[in-house]
Amino acid sequence: MTTLNPYLSFRDNAKEAMTFYQSVFGGQLNMSTFGEYHASEDAAEQDKIMHAMLTSEKGLVLMGADTPNGMDYTPGSSISVSLSGSDETELRGYFDKLADGGKVTVPMEKAPWGDIFGMCTDKFGTDWLVNVGAEPGQA
């Protein structure tokens, strides 16, 4: 089986961001630092997150890491993370938590295609699309 999972990049706040996402989605969060794996000789990078993986009870998987100082970091890339499903209460809850401290760019409301849709950028600069699919026959 092949899976596709979002892997988010941060400059130096992956621990804070991934802990925030755990508060949004719940689940198990595992994090490893560069220092734990002797992956950097730079003393300033020892506590940076080399790899983080959040796995929610619902099966959502989100990964992330800090960017080493020697690598380019360009926040606000051209990718968004999309959440979709049919449970409006659950998805609105995620949207509200993700938008807290961030910016709502499209409020959660009925879209022209019949679904409930919203967009926000969280406080860490990650763009989110949230879509609640209309029940069959209601679009």
On whether both 59 and 17 belong to a single domain, the answer is yes
CA dist 121 and 93 (Å) reads 15
User: What's the structural domain count of the chain?
Assistant: 2
User: Would you say residue 23 has pLDDT above 90?
Assistant: yes
On whether both 18 and 60 belong to a single domain, the answer is yes
Let me know if residue 138 belongs to a domain: no
Burial, 67: exposed, middle or buried (Cβ in 10 Å; 0-12, 13-18, 19+)?
middle
Compute the average pLDDT of residues 75-89.
Answer: 87
Q: Specify the higher pLDDT residue, 76 or 68.
A: 68
- What are the backbone dihedrals phi and psi of residue 8, each rounded to the nearest 5 degrees, phi first? -90, 145
Residues 24-35: tens digit of each pLDDT: 999 999 999 999
On whether both 11 and 43 belong to a single domain, the answer is yes
Let me know if residue 2 belongs to a domain: no
pLDDT at 21: 98
**What are all long-range contacts of 33-39, with beta carbons under 8 Å and residues at least 24 apart?**
34/66, 34/68
Residues 41-52: tens digit of each pLDDT: 888 889 999 999
CATH number of 107's domain: 3.10.180.10
pLDDT at 76: 66
Mean pLDDT of the chain: 91
Amino acid at 38: H
Q: Is the pTM of this model over 0.95?
A: no
Q: Which residue range is the domain that position 20 belongs to?
A: 7-66
Q: Which residue among 40, 66, 92 closes a domain?
A: 66
On whether both 95 and 60 belong to a single domain, the answer is no
pLDDT at 125: 92
On whether both 84 and 120 belong to a single domain, the answer is yes
On whether both 15 and 61 belong to a single domain, the answer is yes
